[in-house]
Homo-oligomer: A and B are copies of this chain.
Amino acid sequence: MLEVSQRGQAMPVSPFRKLLPYAEAARQQGKIVYPLNIGQPDVLTPPEMLDAVRHADVKVLGYAPGAGTDSYRRKLETYYQRAGIPARFEHIMVTTAGSEAIHFAMLTCLNPGDEIIVAEPFYGTYTAFAIAAGVSIVAVTAHIEDGFALPPLADFEAVITERTRAILICNPSNPTGYVYRRDELEALLGLCKKHDLYLLSDEAYREYCYDGAQATSALSLAGGEKHVVMLDTISKRYSACGARVGALVTRNPDVWLAAFHFGQMRICPPVLEMLAAEAAADLPASYFDGTRAEYQARRDLTVAALQAMPGVVCPVPGGAFYVIARLPVDDAEKFGQWLLEAFTLDNQTLMLSPANGFYHTPGLGRQEVRLAYVINRTDLAAALTCLAQGLLEYPGRVEPQPAGRVEAAIAS
């Protein structure tokens, strides 16, 4: 019998696309569905990026070097230096989006059967990359009551085995919005040095920290040269998700070279979109002042609305553009489906991401959802009004228990 491979069968459905069929059905019925499920901002892509492609003098759209064009790598170097990140031309390997940076990092740093430790909840797609690379994710749980801060180092140390090869973080975090403090990062690096582990750091949301906070790049940690592999992308930074350009950046020349060989395998990143990325790297740092202010306003609106809903628990995310909230519902996935199938307020509803897809440990996050505050404030406010009303009407509503006892109460 012809069968699909085991890894093919094991590939998970994206947590932020799980409810998509219901959303499509709702839209076909004429409902307005606000998409809070996916980090696809409605912020305009900088016109400079699109103009660079429009005005490029391309006659033959040929291959680029496997590590990306020299000109883009030089621009990226300048961008990193400006951001206080000690990344040089020779440390930068341009990838096809952040996705490929994650993929190549796993292929390069881990053997099949090796383990990688990730604090949950985490970007659900890491699971897919781990399956593709044949490596096992081992989760350490962060808690909503702590604002999803880095779990105690002892929790990491407790799960280290002889197969552990890396710790993977996302900073600022998708999906929690937590921004790791420098001392937390230093402690993690210390653990990596003690146990000979790589520290993979996904820094896609670097520029989006609020209330004056600044993200610390793992690349800037003293003594991390051999251990740190930074994973980057322009998707979120410039609201250019469709331009599939990212980077794997490391000061470990062996890791760089192996990643480059994986890069040669797929020949080169998309060439037109590297032109757009190059124009983006030229944008002044002030570009982010405007976009950051807009996201901060959206975050404030979202968190205020959530915290005003009876029974909702919602920490204040310090960065990225997501928030995880615990809802007074029996099951967030069922609730999300109900919102799309059975609920409207003035013919409107919303799509959210059930947070169970961001947890590795079965059963966790059953009452939690991830909301992406990436749409304009008018629509965002309308979506949150729908959510508030939906929570009141939902037949599976459960009254919240005192903190820490919710999961137990539901499980019983």
Residues of A within 8 A of B (CB): 1-9, 11-14, 17, 38, 40-45, 49-50, 53-54, 58-64, 66, 96-97, 99-100, 103, 107-112, 114, 125, 128-129, 132, 134, 196-198, 226-227, 239-244, 252, 254-255, 257-259, 261-262, 264-273, 276
Contacts and interface: CB of A to CB of B under 8 A. Distances in A.
Given A45-B60, A60-B45, A272-B273, A108 B5 contact: yes
A40 to B, nearest CB: 5
Nearest to A109: B5
Nearest to A9: B258
Contacts of A197: 2
Contact of A262 (B11, B242, B252): B11
Contacts of A108: 4-5, 8
A304 B23 CA distance: 62
Contacts of A114: 5
Contacts of A112: 7, 112, 134
Given A11-B265, A96-B96, A2 B61 contact: no
A259 to B, nearest CB: 8
B109 A252 contact: no
Contacts of A254: 3-4
A228 to B, nearest CB: 11
A107 B4 CA distance: 9
A272 to B, nearest CB: 5
Nearest to A264: B14
A271 B243 contact: yes
B17 A41 contact: no
Nearest to A238: B61
Contacts of A103: 265-266
Closest 5 CB pairs of A and B: A242-B271, A8-B258, A11-B261, A128-B265, A270-B270
A272 B271 CA distance: 10
A274 to B, nearest CB: 9
Given A60-B239, A64-B242, A134-B112, A129 B8 contact: no
5 contacts: A2-B252, A6-B111, A17-B66, A125-B267, A272-B276
A35 to B, nearest CB: 11
B109 A4 contact: yes
Q: Which of A241, A254, A255, A267 has the most CB of B within 10 A?
A: A267
A226 B270 contact: no
A371 to B, nearest CB: 18
B265 A242 contact: no
Given A109-B5, A272-B276, A273-B273, A241 B62 contact: yes
A132 to B, nearest CB: 6
Contacts of A43: 60
B2 A198 contact: yes
